[in-house]
Structure 1
Amino acid sequence: MSPDSNRPTWGIELTPEHPPDSIAELAALAEDEGFDVAFASSHYFNRDPFVTLSRMAEATDSIRLGPGVVNPFQDHPVPLAARTATIDEVSDGRAVYGIGAGDRSALSNLGFEHERPLRRVLEAFSVARELWAGETVSHEGTFVARDASLNLEPTEIPVYVGAQGPHMLRMSAKHAEGVLINASHPRDLEWSAGQIEQGLADRPDEHGAFESLAFTSVSVADDADAARAAARPPVAFIAGGAAPPVIERHGLDAEAVETVSDHLEAGDLTAAFEAVTPAMIDAFSIAGTTESVAEQFAETLAFVDGIVVGSPLGPDLEWAIQAVADALEMVNDEVETN
């Protein structure tokens, strides 16, 4: 996705917990700092990602834009395809489609069953591709669409699957244009790379190139302690939803993780954030000063084609965007020097 094939892709996740116009300004800053793609995250309790993306499109010229990530449980796949195609239209062909299975606990809050997630994600973006190509689609599987079509010009939009588990990672490598690996630690990314390699072995040649991006939780500040403190909220949600093999991979205290999870389920966010341990921050985020973050980026890039820097970014969003761009540039300079 990077226009410069000699460097990794730089991506950024912007969370619409702020008004769309504010997020659009941050997207413009990210474009100026050299980022290749900006994702607007999708959570039912925040502002709408597609409204936000439309503002981001107006404020930018070249950076690619997409939801990061929507799920086909909360929203029907056909309207999702239409909304993404609309962003492609208003951005003059800059859209990407970030889609995943969604967070089980958030979906449960809305009364959705998280059934057959891999099959539903695959069917959702397969149908979207047909719709974007101008076809009329009838589909009966994990969802139903009868004689559905879009009143939009045909287009091609790359699909990036948000993935963490082995089956979703392998499926994305076989069928999508890219993967957004929900991980920040080299230990998880190395394991993920092995799963992706298995999927690529079955990838049809006509699917073309594939890109693997680490979708990381990043927090950067002048003061390392401040950066780590700002990382607590997203780390709490990551740890609270982590599968037992992930907890074991990092040697985390299972009881401590369960405490975080229990607080989240009870809606006591303050207690959940306070229960996050230093070991959880190390496992589920990249946090520190610009220099230390650059060192961690270098370790990450041993296993992926690029990095999407995600929430919280840091205590000061504008400063953090510039700082993570500096960190990524440090890594590029080091690679070129060697």
Structure 2
Amino acid sequence: MTDETTTNEPTSGIELTPEHSPDRMGELAATAEREGFDVAFASSHYFNRDPFVALSRMAEATETIELGPGIVNPYDTHPVKLASQAATIDEISDGRGVFGIGAGDRSALSNLGYDHERPLRRVLESFDVARDLWAGETITHEGTFTARDASLNFDRRELPVYVGAQGPHMLRMSAKHADGVLINAAHPDDLEWAAERIGEGLDDRPEESEAQSASGQSSGERSDPRESAFESLAFASTSVAADEDVAREAARPPVAFIVGGAADPVIDRHDIDREAAAAVGDAVERGELGEAFEHVTPRMIDRFCIAGTTDTVADRFADVLEHVDGIVVGSPLGPEIEDAIERASAALEDVA
């Protein structure tokens, strides 16, 4: 991530999914740290274990790797509560916390009865409020959510904010206001397009002094060196194994969910038949996951996942790094998770 010792080497991150127990998440985080990853994100879905509980075990099991949710949404948990939870992880990890926030999955939120209203504004307001709370302020906020005389009852924290983004407006907003972006994409075509949108946002990014003035902060009150530069990371579904076919087969489940939620322009960009994509999406919505996985085509895997042997994945990583500052190796990782962590690390080292 961005700090005073930043080099030209790309950031290496990993997504760990709390489908595993918290103790197991700690073990996997320790493996990722040992393999040289810079940051580990715990994904957040209501049907898995709580990401912050997982992150607490990950903090206990590690010493240097940065840790954070990747990503939480400000609908099913109040933004002030999210700020407190993230700051708690930063505290127990001795300042290794990062904050990954995004609009969340529309269908999953619908399952819980939440309206996915004004997502860009909700995300922006949420991390703006979080920054004020981490700075020790008492805040009152009336916008896409309400908070009155809210504050955090522990020491000031400094967390970099990374916005999960895919669409043009969220990408531009992240570049204008956040510390980094987690681009939900694995293919160079998507990442090249995203880099253009990010560039547009960076052109409108206020100077640090202006940003502090606008939020009522005096110069120097937010001096965390991790905030010094914007960082663009590909949050890329990856599946790596010794056998190419085995790795690609393991990629079917995440690719099905990606295709099922992809907008038509994304489907068209990759020249994927809309009827084939609709068949995947319809099966996902009906809960017929086996059927959805069967509908995943080889082209869908090629376009929405980095899958194959260590050498194949290294080649794909090299193409991705033409457009971003680093890669977060995302679910499924591979059929054998420890082996996949080691192979993904080796692939990143090959292109560093």
Fold shared, TM-score > 0.5 on shorter chain: yes
Is residue 243 of structure 1 aligned with residue 250 of structure 2? no
Deviations 1:279-307 (A, max 9, x none): 11011000000000000000000000000
Counterpart of 1:28 in structure 2 is 30
Question: Which residue type is aligned with residue 37 of structure 2?
Answer: F
Counterpart of 1:329 in structure 2 is 349
Counterpart of 1:56 in structure 2 is 58
Counterpart of 2:279 in structure 1 is 259
SS at match of 2:282: helix
Counterpart of 2:288 in structure 1 is 268
Measure, in 2, the Cα distance between the counterparts of 1:144 and 1:56: 32
Counterpart of 1:217 in structure 2 is 237
Counterpart of 2:339 in structure 1 is 319
TM-score with structure 2 setting the length: 0.93
Measure, in 1, the Cα distance between the counterparts of 2:110 and 2:291: 21
Deviations 1:129-187 (A, max 9, x none): 00000000000000000000000101110000000000000000000000000000000
Measure, in 1, the Cα distance between the counterparts of 2:199 and 2:6: 24
Question: Which residue type is aligned with residue 209 of structure 1?
Answer: A
Measure, in 2, the Cα distance between the counterparts of 1:5 and 1:102: 32
SS at match of 1:212: strand
Measure, in 1, the Cα distance between the counterparts of 2:10 and 2:349: 10
SS at match of 1:98: strand
Measure, in 1, the Cα distance between the counterparts of 2:207 and 2:66: 25
Percent identity at matched positions? 71
For residue 205 of structure 1, report the CA deviation from its aligned partner.
1.9
Measure, in 1, the Cα distance between the counterparts of 2:49 and 2:304: 25
Measure, in 1, the Cα distance between the counterparts of 2:93 and 2:206: 30
Measure, in 1, the Cα distance between the counterparts of 2:6 and 2:104: 32
SS at match of 2:37: coil
Question: Which residue type is aligned with residue 151 of structure 1?
Answer: N
Deviations 1:203-231 (A, max 9, x none): 11206410000000000011101000000
Measure, in 1, the Cα distance between the counterparts of 2:82 and 2:279: 36
Deviations 1:220-267 (A, max 9, x none): 011101000000000000000001110000000100100000001101
Measure, in 2, the Cα distance between the counterparts of 1:83 and 1:311: 23
Counterpart of 1:166 in structure 2 is 168
Measure, in 1, the Cα distance between the counterparts of 2:115 and 2:246: 38
For residue 6 of structure 1, report the CA deviation from its aligned partner.
2.4
Q: 2:119 aligns with which of 101, 117, 120?
A: 117
Is residue 286 of structure 1 aligned with residue 306 of structure 2? yes
Counterpart of 2:148 in structure 1 is 146
Measure, in 2, the Cα distance between the counterparts of 1:238 and 1:153: 39
User: After the TM superposition, which segments of 4 or more aligned residues of structure 1 sit over 3 Å from their partners?
Assistant: none
SS at match of 2:280: helix
Measure, in 1, the Cα distance between the counterparts of 2:233 and 2:19: 24
Measure, in 2, the Cα distance between the counterparts of 1:320 and 1:233: 16
Question: Which residue type is aligned with residue 105 of structure 1?
Answer: S
Counterpart of 1:335 in structure 2 is none
Q: 2:327 aligns with which of 282, 288, 307?
A: 307
For residue 4 of structure 1, report the CA deviation from its aligned partner.
4.8
For residue 316 of structure 1, report the CA deviation from its aligned partner.
0.3
Unpaired stretches in structure 2, ≥5 consecutive residues:
212-227
SS at match of 1:82: helix
Q: 2:247 aligns with which of 227, 243, 266?
A: 227
SS at match of 2:41: strand
Counterpart of 2:222 in structure 1 is none
Measure, in 2, the Cα distance between the counterparts of 1:121 and 1:132: 16
Counterpart of 1:107 in structure 2 is 109
TM-score with structure 1 setting the length: 0.97
RMSD: 0.8
Unpaired stretches in structure 1, ≥5 consecutive residues:
333-338
Counterpart of 2:197 in structure 1 is 195
Question: Which residue type is aligned with residue 34 of structure 2?
Answer: D
SS at match of 1:134: coil
Measure, in 2, the Cα distance between the counterparts of 1:84 and 1:155: 10
Question: Which residue type is aligned with residue 272 of structure 1?
Answer: A
Is residue 84 of structure 1 aligned with residue 86 of structure 2? yes
For residue 52 of structure 1, report the CA deviation from its aligned partner.
0.1
